[in-house]
Structures are given as C-alpha cells and as structure tokens.
C-alpha cells in the first residue's frame, strides 16, 4: 500500500495517522486490552466519518507498530505483549535406557 509523503508546511497528520494515534492511545490507556477485538474497519469508518481505505491504512500502521494483529475472517485484535507469553517448556530427555519388556511383565504391572 502506498503512503503519501508530507509536503513542507503540512503540520497536521494524515487522517489515517490520526486514527492510528487515537487507537494507540486507547490501547495504551487500557480501553482495549491485550487479545481484545477492536472495532471493525467498517465500524471505525462510520464512527470517525472517514473512508474505509483510511481505516485500513491506520490498521496497517498499527500492525507495523506491533500494537494490533489481523486474524483472518475474524477482525483486528490488540496484540499480546512479549511479557504475557508463557515461557517455552524445557525439552526433557529420557531418564532411562530402553529395556526389553515381555507380556508377563506387562500383565503383572496392571
């Protein structure tokens, strides 16, 4: 997606940047929590009175910042932070060497 460069003298951010900044503030302020769904592209378009493409650009910007993630056929969700991920389990190694077992031993164990 192409993003326009600002020209000299333009101090106000583009609409998609305004939308992205607004949502970022809501996320950072705790209105939207990690894993929570944010408004759909169409809902946000109607809410803010902007085009769908402006909202899509804003959501793409937020994805690039790592604040939200798209889930196919589900919508956009607030990304979970690194600290909320569970640690990777350690790889265990077998404790004993393999041994031969016969049917009698298996029956006697039960």
Which is it for the CA torsion 47, 27, 52, 10, positive or negative? positive
The residue extents of the domains of the chain are 15-81
CATH topology of domain 15-81: Arc Repressor Mutant, subunit A (1.10.10)
Encode pLDDT of 8-64 as tens digits. 456 889 999 999 999 999 999 999 999 999 999 999 999 999 999 999 999 999 999
Collapsing DSSP to helix, strand or coil, 34 comes out as coil
Between residues 44 and 92, which one has the greater pLDDT? 44
Which pairs count as long-range contacts for 104-107, CB under 8 Å and 24+ apart, including other chains? Answer: none
DSSP string, 52-107: HHHHHHHHHHHHHHTSEEEETTTEEEEPPPGGGSPPPPPPP--SS------HHHHH
């Amino acid at each position: 997606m192409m993003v326009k460069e600002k020209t000299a003298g333009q101090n106000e951010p583009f609409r998609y940047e305004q939308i992205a900044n607004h949502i970022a503030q809501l996320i950072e302020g705790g209105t939207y929590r990690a894993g929570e769904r944010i408004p759909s592209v169409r809902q946000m378009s109607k809410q803010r009175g902007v085009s769908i493409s402006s909202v899509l650009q804003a959501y793409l910007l937020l994805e690039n910042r790592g604040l939200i993630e798209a889930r196919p056929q589900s919508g956009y969700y607030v990304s979970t932070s690194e600290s909320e991920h569970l640690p990777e389990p350690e790889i265990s190694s077998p404790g004993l060497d393999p041994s031969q077992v016969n049917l009698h031993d298996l029956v006697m164990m039960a």
